[in-house]
Amino acid sequence: MQISIPPIIPYAVGVMLVVFGILRVKYLGAPRPPRVTEEDAGSSTQAAPVRGKEQHRHLRMGVVWVLLGLFLLISTYVQLHRR
């Protein structure tokens, strides 16, 4: 049994995976500025932004989403042009 779906569906899903993966990396995987306490507020030195576990996880999963979306786009293109 062979199911025939319109090619616009895998293209749309692939584009959404790429776009949302890039947004996830850019906004959720970005380093956060450290929290400033009252003691630190008086000092003039600025601490560097840090990446926590959550940002690393968003960064990795965003890259996975982008790769999955690109694979879906490329495999759909190849499948359509093979016929």
In a domain, 40, yes or no: no
Return the SS3 of 30.
coil
Domain with 58, as residue range(s), is: 1-31+50-83
| Torsion angle of the four alpha carbons 14, 22, 51, 60, in this order, in degrees rounded to the nearest 10 | 20
In a domain, 66, yes or no: yes
In a domain, 8, yes or no: yes
In a domain, 54, yes or no: yes
The pLDDT tens digits along the chain (83 residues) read 788 889 999 999 999 999 999 999 999 887 776 666 666 666 656 666 666 788 889 999 999 999 999 999 999 999 999 86
In a domain, 41, yes or no: no
C-beta separation of 76 from 13 below 8 A: no
pLDDT tens, 46-64?
Answer: 666 666 788 889 999 999 9
pTM given for the model = 0.75
The number of domains in the chain is 1
